[in-house]
């Protein structure tokens, strides 16, 4: 799995340290929810998105490498994934997320195999 999956790419327009909580997240085919939590940690950057009613209150973990662009003015984040790809992702597990490297490999591997090149 590529470490780039867990890092914001320079072309996204994201500035480390920017608070992204509450930003709307847009898949390639529509809105999926809002950022509930995020991290800019080196090689471990991510978004936790609250999908609301779209998939019954499920939270999803999106590695920063899935982010295509951040629009600061509009408070929107665009990811290179479809709604179905996000819906079918491994379930967010806040306990495993905190310290289980294997969980990050599982999630990162899923998204790496589904993102557009």
Q: What is the pTM of this model?
A: 0.90
Alpha-carbon distance of 10 to 96, in angstroms, equals 28
Cβ(10)–Cβ(67) under 8 Å?
A: no
DSSP 41-74: -TT--EEEEE-TTTTTT-EEEEEGGGEEEEETTT
- Residues 13, 16, 18, CA angle at the centre, nearest 5°? 85
Q: Look up residue 70 and give its two tokens.
A: 């951040």
Tens-digit pLDDT profile for the chain (117 aa)?
Answer: 466 899 999 999 998 899 999 999 999 999 999 999 999 988 889 999 998 876 666 899 999 999 999 999 999 999 999 999 998 888 888 888 776 778 888 898 998 887 654
């Amino acid at each position: 799995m590529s470490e780039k999956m867990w890092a914001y790419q320079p072309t996204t327009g994201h500035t480390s340290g920017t608070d992204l909580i509450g930003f709307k997240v847009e898949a390639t085919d529509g809105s999926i929810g809002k950022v509930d939590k995020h991290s800019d940690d080196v090689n471990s950057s991510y978004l936790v998105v609250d999908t609301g009613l779209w998939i019954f209150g499920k939270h999803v973990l999106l590695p920063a490498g899935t982010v295509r662009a951040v629009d600061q003015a509009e408070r929107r984040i665009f990811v290179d994934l479809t709604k179905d790809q996000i819906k079918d992702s491994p379930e967010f597990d806040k306990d495993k997320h905190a310290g289980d490297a294997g969980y990050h490999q599982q999630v990162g591997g899923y998204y790496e195999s589904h993102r557009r090149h």
